[in-house]
């Protein structure tokens, strides 16, 4: 027999299922089939909906203030629905349950290979952190954290305070040292917007998008090309700084767009604020293995594959991307399998790199 609290959790789950039409008849049928509940009245359903409304109000007060009641009735579908897809009256697991699962996996790392166990632990704890963000008054319209690859990540100790600062829109003060041996610690003041996990070559770890601010700033206008990407494992002396600034977002501001037009994570946006994607074109033989690989695993969502001539012996692959060091590294890596057609500046730079590499090979 379901307790009233467990019944609310089940109905909350039904609201989260996009294909499920929530009304008295469907919920009554669901409870009867899955929990053998013989009687469930329409009055009980109304009380449960009201209880869920109150729970949602407690979790998302600013959203209710902005949008009104968070559960509404649709006359067209004759069903109730949550006004936003990213809200829930309950976390899918309690924080205690998630931490217990994470701890059990952590204690049994020997049952996993290649860091998979630690990766699962990281993801479970990330879910717990995300659930905790509901205590803040306003939920971001973008994800606060992106997880990609399993395994340990340097700098993970900074994740929790940074996530809390993202949710509260607090300013962080910290020192940072780049990888250069001669680099000195530099102090930054900035508003964190999003954490990203990334793994490609040497660039392995956690990164945070920061809107850098000055101490006397009062109005902060945020744009994608003014953001700075910093590695968590090179951040030190991290502390929250309470500020009276006003943070203003453009209507279309969406931090994940920082990574949209490129391969990898490294951009030149601070050096070149007007940076834009370019059409990059390469030519391959139709029997080249790399063509099959690119067809199955596109390098970028903008990728297009076209036959170049009537003989069908040559294929052109194009991408609309920012040209960065990671794209150049990819093209250098497969220089013997493809020909870079355009842009001319990229062809020239790759040729110079190959000539320099040849000189190193010829040295005794």
What is the number of structural domains in the chain?
3
Same domain, 229 and 333: no
Same domain, 188 and 300: no
In a domain, 122, yes or no: no
- Between the alpha carbon of residue 41 and those of residues 23, 47, 124, 146, 213, the distances in Å are 12, 10, 37, 43, 57
Of 214, 230, 259, which closes a domain?
A: 259
3-state secondary structure of 5: helix
In a domain, 250, yes or no: yes
**CATH value at residue 141:** 2.30.30
Of 82, 98, 113, which closes a domain?
A: 82
Same domain, 214 and 322: no
In a domain, 215, yes or no: yes
In a domain, 209, yes or no: yes
Same domain, 236 and 285: no
Same domain, 254 and 285: no
- Between the alpha carbon of residue 309 and those of residues 48, 283, 285, 317, the distances in Å are 66, 11, 11, 13
pLDDT digits (tens), the chain, 364 positions:
678 888 898 899 899 887 789 999 999 988 888 887 778 899 999 999 999 999 998 888 888 888 889 999 999 989 999 998 878 888 755 555 556 666 666 666 665 655 555 666 666 666 666 655 555 555 566 666 555 444 445 566 777 788 888 887 888 888 888 766 666 778 888 888 888 877 544 444 678 888 888 877 788 888 888 888 888 878 888 888 877 778 888 778 888 888 888 888 888 888 888 888 999 999 888 888 888 888 888 888 898 888 766 666 788 989 999 998 888 888 888 888 888 889 999 899 988 888 888 887 776 5
Rounded CA separation 23/84 (Å):
18
Same domain, 155 and 254: yes
User: What is the pLDDT, as a whole number, of residue 150?
Assistant: 43
Find the domain containing 57 and state its range. 4-82
Same domain, 288 and 239: no
Same domain, 150 and 253: yes
Strand order in the sheet with 314-321: 304-307, 314-321, 278-285, 339-342
In a domain, 97, yes or no: no
DSSP assignment of 301-337: TT-EEEE-STT--EEEEEEEE---HHHHHHHHHTTTT
Same domain, 235 and 295: no
Of 82, 99, 119, which closes a domain?
A: 82
Same domain, 226 and 141: yes
The Cβ of residue 318 has, within 10 Å, a number of other Cβ atoms equal to 17
In a domain, 151, yes or no: yes
Same domain, 243 and 146: yes
**CATH value at residue 345:** 3.30.70
Same domain, 195 and 253: yes
Side-chain-side CA neighbours of residue 44 (13 Å): 14
In a domain, 95, yes or no: no
User: What is the pLDDT, as a whole number, of residue 100?
Assistant: 66
In a domain, 70, yes or no: yes
């Amino acid at each position: 027999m379901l307790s009233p609290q467990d019944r609310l959790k089940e109905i909350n789950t039904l609201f989260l299922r996009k294909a499920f039409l929530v009304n008295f008849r469907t919920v009554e049928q669901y409870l009867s089939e899955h929990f053998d509940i013989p009687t469930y009245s329409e009055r009980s359903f109304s009380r449960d909906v009201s209880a869920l409304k109150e729970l949602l109000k407690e979790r998302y007060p600013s959203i209710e203030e902005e949008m009104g009641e968070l559960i509404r009735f649709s006359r067209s579908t004759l069903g109730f629905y949550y006004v936003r897809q990213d809200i829930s009256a309950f976390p899918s697991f309690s924080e205690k349950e998630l931490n217990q699962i994470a701890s059990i996996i952590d204690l049994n790392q020997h049952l996993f290979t290649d860091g998979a166990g630690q990766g699962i632990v990281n993801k479970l704890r990330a879910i717990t952190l995300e659930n905790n963000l509901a205590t803040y008054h306003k939920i971001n319209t973008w994800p606060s954290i992106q997880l990609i690859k399993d395994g340990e990540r340097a700098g993970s100790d900074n994740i929790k305070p940074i996530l809390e600062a993202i949710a509260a829109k607090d300013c962080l003060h910290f020192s940072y040292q780049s990888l250069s041996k001669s680099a000195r610690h530099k102090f930054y003041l900035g508003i964190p917007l999003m954490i990203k996990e990334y793994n490609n070559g040497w660039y392995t770890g956690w990164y945070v998008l920061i809107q850098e601010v000055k101490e006397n700033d009062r109005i902060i206008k945020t744009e994608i090309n003014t953001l700075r990407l910093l590695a968590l494992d090179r951040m030190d002396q991290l502390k929250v700084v309470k500020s009276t600034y006003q943070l203003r977002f453009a209507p279309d501001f969406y931090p994940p767009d920082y990574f949209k037009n490129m391969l990898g994570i490294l951009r030149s946006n601070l050096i070149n604020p007007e940076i834009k994607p370019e059409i990059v074109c390469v030519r391959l033989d139709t029997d080249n293995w790399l063509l099959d690989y690119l067809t199955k695993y596109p390098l970028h969502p903008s990728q297009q594959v076209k036959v170049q001539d009537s003989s069908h012996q040559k294929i052109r692959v194009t991408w609309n991307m920012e040209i960065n060091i990671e794209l150049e590294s990819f093209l250098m890596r497969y220089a013997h399998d493809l020909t870079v057609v355009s842009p001319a500046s990229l062809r020239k730079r790759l040729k110079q790199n190959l000539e320099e590499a040849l000189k190193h090979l010829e040295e005794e």
